[in-house]
Amino acid sequence: MALTIIRKNFLLHPYLLFPSQNRNLINLLSSTPNLNTVCDSAAYLDTVETQISSLCQKSNSSVQFREAFSIFQQSVDMGLIPSGPTCNLLVPVLAKSKDYKMAFEIYKKMTSAGALPTYLSLSALVECLVHFGVPQVALAATGLILKHGYSVNVYVANIILRGFCSDGCAVKAEEFLSEMHRNSVTPDRVSFNTLIKGFCQERKLNHAMNLKKRMEDAEIIPNLITYNILMNAYFMEGQVEEAIGLLEEMKIKGLEPDGIVYGTLINGLCSNGDVDRAKGFWKEILNKGISPNRITYSCLMRGLCQKGQLKQAKFLFNDMIKSGIRPDVVTFTGMIGGLCEFGRTDKAVELFDFMLEKGEEPTTATYNILIGGLCKAGLLDDASKFLEMMVDKDKKPDIVTCNTVLRGFCDIGRVDGAMKLFNSMLLNKFVEPDSWTISTLVQGLCREGNLKQAEQINRRMAELKKLMDVAPYTVLIGAYLKADVTS
């Protein structure tokens, strides 16, 4: 009976009993007279493989893929590695569900055991390496694809292109694009869009536009994604008319903007202060029956707040909720920033409180924006209150925010408030003072005639090796000279 089960499992999984794969099972075969133990192991492994196969083939749920990985791991912990086909089934689905660490772990176990990876597993390996931020290693991994008798197709090539571009190496990505072309791998629209986005992120718009021309010369028609990438880049550079020009070109070529493109237009125009034009595109969206998403609502509301058009912003806010879209922390942060820019910090604080009532947790950016706005308005006590609240909630303020508050206190002659904040920075260690912090504080103390304390702070920071700039010394020397103190 035991031999029958072993024979059955061997026929189903001929690589199951390879020494490199299941040393424990081989040891059982050679050391125990009781084949029932071997039978149990083989039967268990067969059950494991059936469960993994079922979870992978009958589901698109990442939860079930992770369950399959858990079953795989339990089997490995018992010294039994599932067969090559089972591993090759699991690796690609985990990569597809973005569980890259799990996919890579199985790939390593599988190949260490001697099982041969399929093309899909090798493609998944490339994707894992790109995700881990090592596109050069991913490129080297294409050698494994060739070594196993497969060819590198445009899908794998695009993964590597994305890796180089995400790593800020658009030039290397372009070199790889040329190389793949020489090796008879024809770039597609995804290839060009990836590369165009990479150069846009590096602020090389002319090069990105040249790539668009190359794309067209290759008879690959730019799509909405292509135009959206380029328009967004032009808006980021403040080149509004160039972005609008691309919109017109897109329409001439028969491409109708969708909700994403309109979102880019509205965000770009608001960011460049052209809220009236953004409102025009908003009307266009509604007339076309396109439902604005949370991002589009948030962008326009922020723009309206920046211009002080609070009634319209409030109308949009209520309309957003009626449409079933819940404002999130990005929505609130954008509006708070807009209100602060317009000088309505009172409304910004009200909105902050409303945000808390609605259960939205402010981010570090939310606090930094509000504190900066309060400082600009001269409301230093309120700014300090929010800074304390921020630290109490384990949100780390950045050095710019702390320096803004500290400078605000010094500018209105409240050096005591600046000293309190400075000591808090040193005591709580939530942010490291920089030379600008020290210079501002020393300058404030010198202005008050408190040269001795200014010198003490300078010396203390130098002893702590936190004073790496000559600026604070320059301020102090200037103050002594002004006071005509030479000793």
Q: How far, in Å, CA of 400 to CA of 440, rounded?
A: 12
Q: Residue 256: CB partners within 8 Å, gap ≥ 6? A: none
Q: How far, in Å, CA of 213 to CA of 436, rounded?
A: 47
- The backbone torsions φ and ψ at residue 58, rounded to the nearest 5 degrees and listed phi first, read -105, 15
The answer to whether 96 touches 62, Cβ cutoff 8 Å, is no
The answer to whether 59 touches 35, Cβ cutoff 8 Å, is no
- The backbone torsions φ and ψ at residue 317, rounded to the nearest 5 degrees and listed phi first, read -60, -45
Q: How far, in Å, CA of 49 to CA of 14, rounded?
A: 14
Q: What is the pLDDT of residue 336?
A: 94
Q: Residue 288: CB partners within 8 Å, gap ≥ 6? A: none
Residue 128 Rama label (left phi>0; alpha psi -120 to 50; beta): alpha
Following CA atoms 297, 266, 353, 430 in sequence, which dihedral angle do they give, to the nearest 10 degrees? 130
Residues in the chain with pLDDT values less than 50: 1-33, 35-38, 486-487
Residue 79 three-state SS: coil
Q: Residue 427: CB partners within 8 Å, gap ≥ 6? A: none
Q: How far, in Å, CA of 469 to CA of 487, rounded?
A: 23
Q: How far, in Å, CA of 344 to CA of 326, rounded?
A: 24
User: Burial level of 224, CB count in 10 A (0-12/13-18/19+)?
Assistant: middle
The answer to whether 408 touches 437, Cβ cutoff 8 Å, is no
Tokens in use for 266?
């509205």
- The backbone torsions φ and ψ at residue 396, rounded to the nearest 5 degrees and listed phi first, read -90, 115
Of 252, 299, 292, nearest to 273 (Cα)? 299
Q: How far, in Å, CA of 122 to CA of 128, rounded?
A: 10
Q: What is the pLDDT of residue 67?
A: 80
Q: How far, in Å, CA of 236 to CA of 233, rounded?
A: 5
Rg (CA), the chain: 31
User: Burial level of 452, CB count in 10 A (0-12/13-18/19+)?
Assistant: exposed
Domains and CATH numbers, the chain: 1-117 (no CATH), 125-222 (1.25.40.10)
For the stretch 269-314, pLDDT in tens is 999 999 999 999 999 999 999 999 999 999 999 999 989 899 999 9
- DSSP output for 115-182: PPP-HHHHHHHHHHHHHTT-HHHHHHHHHHHHHTT----HHHHHHHHHHHHHTT-HHHHHHHHHHHHH
Helices (H), 58-83: 62-77
Q: What is the pLDDT of residue 447?
A: 78
The answer to whether 174 touches 140, Cβ cutoff 8 Å, is no
Of 427, 425, 426, nearest to 402 (Cα)? 425
- What one-letter code names the amino acid at 349? V
Tokens in use for 416?
């005591």
Q: Residue 56: CB partners within 8 Å, gap ≥ 6? A: 65, 68, 89, 90, 93
